[in-house]
Amino acid sequence: MSTTKTYDAIVIGGGPGGYVAAIRCAQLKLKTLVIEKESWGGVCLNWGCIPSKALIAAANFVERSKHAGTMGVTVSGVAVDSAKMQEWKNGIVKKLTGGVQSLVRGNGGELMKGTARFVDAKTLEVETADGVQTVTATKGIIIATGSRPVEIPAFKYDGKQIISAKEGVSLNPLPKRLLIIGGGIIGMELGGVYSKLGVDTTVVEFLPKVLATMDDDLVNVVTKAMGKSGCKFITGAKAQGYEKNADGSLKVTLEVNGAAQTMDTDVVLVAVGMRPNHEGNGFEKIGLAQDKRGHVVINDRFETNVPGVYAIGDVAGGPYLAHKASKEGEIAAEVIAGMKSARDWRAIPAATFTHPEIASVGLFEHEAKAKGIEYKVGKFPFSASGRAMAVMETDGFVKVIGEKTGPHHNDYKVIGVHIVGPEAADLISEGALAMEMDAFVEDIGLTIHPHPTLGETVMEAAKAAIGEAVHMLNR
């Protein structure tokens, strides 16, 4: 039997965009419902950001234990219990996904588990375990349906030997050999995890280099470090297909720079990107405008072409980042509540949790060069940082890019900050703040940073850009 309930705002999707939108709606005194089809917290909390970072931490601990003798600490008997590791990781996921539900309820929002489909621009039918329910929104509906892994026709997922990142964070037992198709962020992060956990790991990338959108100097630090951990890379390679060997393993056929090649492996992890979840929710029923990839078309207030319908996060276009989706969710909620909010950020920081980490905000150097911008670069290596030496994490550097805006030597505005090294993902927020405030390179250099810290490297890199570095020779 169908029941009908009316709300001010309804959110479709309980991921980092959707649940934040629901919380913000509820905070603004809107009667709010959030509908989730599968798992509260979405990709990020269940098999993306959070579980992968837990595994990365475990793998890095294993790696560090091998070098503890340098510090005079003898470590022996280190063994990987994949079942226990999964139990620990799943405990973190359970706690966080439960927390999401508590936060929505605590702010006055309601939760519903089911698949939502548009009936019209204000009405949804939700297929739940208890039957179909009809819900209406008087002020707005926010689409936050997220994205899912892209599937290659020649490597259709079976969830066991041909897997996506969803299964890639839950391998138990660990395979002896792992072939990863795709040298982007997901492939590189999981490649680093499993090579450190003792799996014979190979990353295959179609383009000439892994992490193709980043500057070469950043990527080279990571590939060198991952190579030392046993991870192998094959670039300029196209994975064409596979067949089963007699022993149950897989023989994968590659085309490497035009030449045929085969590789035996036990598991293939496909990590060639994500695609928006735009099917099955009745978008066509309301005439929702979408681009060629299926992203919902929006304006700076996250309004679609259908009045009263909004879209945020991955389904509304890249970059596919949880923190971007969350910010968009807050803004969309405020727009529905009648506020004058709109997208107004200058740059969105991004982090890749390889070891060492890469974190960036603003333009890469190759992008600044392509745009014909007159710029200067300041670099400071972690090998010159006392704190980095003390924690045995000296690979990498901080890179600050400034655009010339005037005649003086220090007239350079921050247009990019890039870090490869220890705790890069945490350090990049300073660069994001600098760009948001339209700061000059000198502003970072003039800011007193505590000593001894990794954060000093950001200050020194900024000073280096204008020829005022203290703890390295200026070029």
Residue 153 located in a structural domain: no
Residue 280 located in a structural domain: yes
pLDDT score recorded for residue 3: 66
Q: Which whole-number Å values give the CA distances from 373 to 322, 349, 441, 457, in the listed order?
A: 30, 21, 15, 25
Which residues touch 330 (CB under 8 Å, ≥6 apart)?
A: 20, 21, 24, 341
Q: For the domain that residue 374 is a member of, what is the CATH number?
A: 3.30.390.30
pLDDT score recorded for residue 30: 98
Asked if residue 24 and residue 121 are part of one domain, the reply reads yes
Residue 411 located in a structural domain: yes
pTM metric for this prediction:
0.95
The answer to whether residues 164 and 332 touch, using CB atoms and an 8 Å cutoff, is no
CA atoms of 312 and 317, how far apart (whole Å): 8
Asked if residue 195 and residue 137 are part of one domain, the reply reads no
Provide the 10 A C-beta neighbour count for residue 247: 7
Tokens of 265: 């492996």
CA atoms of 386 and 329, how far apart (whole Å): 41
Asked if residue 10 and residue 144 are part of one domain, the reply reads yes
Instruction: Look at the chain and report how many structural domains it folds into.
Output: 3
| 451 assigned to active site | yes
Asked if residue 144 and residue 279 are part of one domain, the reply reads yes
Asked if residue 448 and residue 363 are part of one domain, the reply reads yes
pLDDT score recorded for residue 102: 97
Given a cut of 50, the residues of the chain with pLDDT beneath it are 1
Closest to 366 (Cα-Cα) out of 156, 168, 219: 219
pLDDT score recorded for residue 350: 98
Asked if residue 289 and residue 141 are part of one domain, the reply reads yes
Residue 103 located in a structural domain: yes
Asked if residue 248 and residue 117 are part of one domain, the reply reads no
pLDDT score recorded for residue 4: 87
Q: Residue 170 burial by CB count (10 A; 0-12/13-18/19+): exposed, middle or buried?
A: middle
Residue 422 located in a structural domain: yes
Residue of 409, 449, 451, 471 with catalytic role = 451
CA atoms of 154 and 253, how far apart (whole Å): 10
pLDDT score recorded for residue 1: 47
Asked if residue 304 and residue 196 are part of one domain, the reply reads no
Asked if residue 415 and residue 387 are part of one domain, the reply reads yes
Closest to 268 (Cα-Cα) out of 163, 133, 367, 389: 163
Asked if residue 8 and residue 143 are part of one domain, the reply reads yes
Q: Which whole-number Å values give the CA distances from 77 to 74, 80, 137, 194, in the listed order?
A: 10, 10, 59, 19
What is the domain range of residue 356?
350-465
The end-to-end CA distance of the chain, in Å, is: 75
Provide the 10 A C-beta neighbour count for residue 424: 24
Residue 154 located in a structural domain: no
Closest to 392 (Cα-Cα) out of 35, 33, 72: 72
Q: For the domain that residue 31 is a member of, what is the CATH number?
A: 3.50.50.60
Residue 228 located in a structural domain: yes
Tokens of 41: 């917290």
Asked if residue 413 and residue 290 are part of one domain, the reply reads no
Asked if residue 302 and residue 284 are part of one domain, the reply reads yes
Closest to 116 (Cα-Cα) out of 232, 282, 235: 282
pLDDT score recorded for residue 2: 55
Closest to 140 (Cα-Cα) out of 285, 8, 328: 8
Query: What CA dihedral angle connects 461, 467, 473 and 475, to 10 degrees?
Result: 100
Crossing angle of helices 18-27 and 322-336, in 10° steps, is 30
pLDDT score recorded for residue 65: 94
Closest to 18 (Cα-Cα) out of 345, 316, 318: 316
Residue 342 located in a structural domain: no
Tokens of 84: 């226990």
The bridge status of strand 177-181 relative to strand 200-205 is: parallel
